[in-house]
Amino acid sequence: MSGTSGVHEKARGWEAARDALVDAAVAAHDEDTLRRLSAMPGGFGSRPARCRAWLELLHVDRLRSASVSPDTTRFATPDTDAETVVYTPHRDEEQVLLDTRRAFVTYPRDVSSDAKAEMQEDLQALICAVLQRHPALHYFQGFHDIATVLYLTLLSRVPRPREGATATDREEWDTLVRATEVVALSRVRDGMGKDLGAMMGMLKLLRRVLAAADPGLYRISASISPVPTLPFFALSWILTLFSHDVDTLAPVQRIFDYLIARNPISAIYLAVAILMSKKRQMLKLAAALGPEARLDPSLLHPLFQRLPPLYADTPEEPRPPPDFHPPEHGAKYDEPNPYAPIALSGIFQLADKLQAKHPFDGSRIRAHEVLGPGSVVRTYARELGDSLNHNSELDDGEMDEKAALKGWTLADAEACIDKDVVLPGGSELDDDDETVPWPDRLGELARSQRVVTALTLGVLFLGVGAALYRSSGRYRLAGLWASYVRRDMSWARAYFGHYVRYVPALRDL
């Protein structure tokens, strides 16, 4: 590997045994075993075994692209192939360029500026290749973080050699492009439509899972949110498969092990598991903030939004060593992480237990009332093809179409973009949580906090608006966002109402 000797570690003792298990499962197309291995300490083991497992679980060989016809056969992006196809440039490529120029800041480490520039060119070529093949996709800021993880994992040499590329180099690049296509169309497609309405539906489901799993923690999260009950602090987690919020590669790869092996809905269960795993630490940090945190619950928003250091535990190192510290160089945050590290395998086990206890198609979570038949959550079963019997979310009508489902292609997935992704009302608040009672008397609290709250609301509004900004240069969810805060109340009434609910909720814990 040129330029990034620290990205792919040498094989360790336990990896040989794990790799053998992964290879046997891949050879047998045994996705149940791969799913079980993905949650174990060490995940899929070495980089080569991880690649084989990801490609098997993404069904890259089976899901062949039926994309638009190329414009020419002349090469126009920084690829090493002498001949390839050229597609019409995608409308979002300018925004992609802005993001790829900021890529590879936190990892890999010890990369020269020239190598980093070439890696950024590779990432630009990768994302644009996917967007050009599927022009109906809309790029979202943060997809480059997902592509970065795939790029650093599925290529054995990064940056790609500009001269002397081998047949293996070209084959790996082609596989990387196809894998990224599958991730875009079959894992995060709901976030690549014209707006993020489907992601609002996912946040709604996350809220339901948290309410079912930990009512006390849910009450606090609902109280600190600027929009009643929707946990916007977790938006980037589920939108980017946590890749935007983790500063090191190993834990992100382990998270991808877990998520790629499961229905895309698993991201919300993983988010809830992380919240529950850091709950004790978070409450201690909240208590350390003193009386101000009780008067202004918005101060807890960063504690909810910040992920703890996620430790990529292995069979040989199940717990973080005493000298373990998250990296500080190039971190996405200005302040050090206030949390102690948490081992990932324990979080994965909790997420699986939550999904078993509160299934998304059950009577408590009711995902089918929120997400339509065009959502990745609903079409995931179609992608599985021969593995239909493993998916409880299929109803009788879908089972009757078994023969048709086996022919599922990426063209079918592309046809689902912006089509019946979220049901009417699915992105709105639940009826029992739409309004926050306005107290008759707020006393000194309302008067003393009026100015501070107004400023806080302004910052929160701009912050969430920035998070929802899309590559077209418009705030696609501005109207949707504003509609939440206008419904049946003014901003002031909604926010002051949180104070009334927040203090007893914190005390109940």
Please check whether residues 238 and 99 belong to one and the same domain: no
- Is the domain of 179 the same as that of 225? no
CA distance 163 to 234: 43
Instruction: Tell me what pLDDT residue 462 has.
Output: 43
Report d(CA 257, CA 273) in Å as an integer: 16
The rounded distance, in Å, linking the Cα atoms of 247 and 307 is 10
DSSP string, 79-132: -S-SS--B-PPPTTHHHHHHHHTT-SSSSSSS--HHHHHHHHHHHHHHHHHHHH
H or E element in which residue 266 lies = helix 266-277
- pLDDT reported for residue 296: 79
The DSSP secondary-structure symbol of 164 reads S
The pLDDT score that the predictor gives to residue 428 is 80
Q: Domain with 486 in it: what CATH number?
A: 1.10.472.80
Are 180 and 173 in contact, with CB atoms under 8 Å apart? no
Angstrom distance (rounded) from CA 487 to CA 250: 43
Q: State the Cα–Cα distance between residues 268 and 263, nearest whole angstrom.
A: 11
Q: Specify whether 342 is located in the same domain as 491.
A: yes
Place of tokens 């296509």: 181
**Residue 223 domain flag:** yes
Number of domains in the chain: 2
Residue 222 and residue 132 in one domain: no
Same domain, 161 and 276: no
Within a domain: 182: yes
Distance from chain centroid for Cα 321: 28
Q: Are 49 and 57 in contact (CB under 8 A)?
A: no
Tokens of 66: 């039926």
Instruction: Note down the domain range covering 89.
Output: 58-186
Whether 172 and 221 map to the same domain: the answer is no
Closest CA to 311 of 322, 301, 298: 322
CATH code at position 142: 1.10.8
Tell me the residue ranges of DSSP E strands in 253-357: 310-311, 342-343
pLDDT of the residue at 324 = 80
Helices in 370-442 by DSSP H: which ranges? 376-384, 396-399, 402-405, 410-415
Helix crossing, 215-224 with 491-508: angle to 10°? 150
Structure tokens at 86: 């050229």
Q: Please state the pTM of the whole predicted model.
A: 0.81
**What average pLDDT values come out for the chain (509 residues) when binned by 10 residues?**
44 88 97 98 98 97 62 45 69 96 92 96 97 96 97 97 92 96 97 94 96 94 72 95 95 98 98 98 92 80 94 94 68 79 97 98 95 96 61 39 59 94 85 41 34 43 46 41 39 37 41
Dist CA 67 CA 384 (whole Å): 20
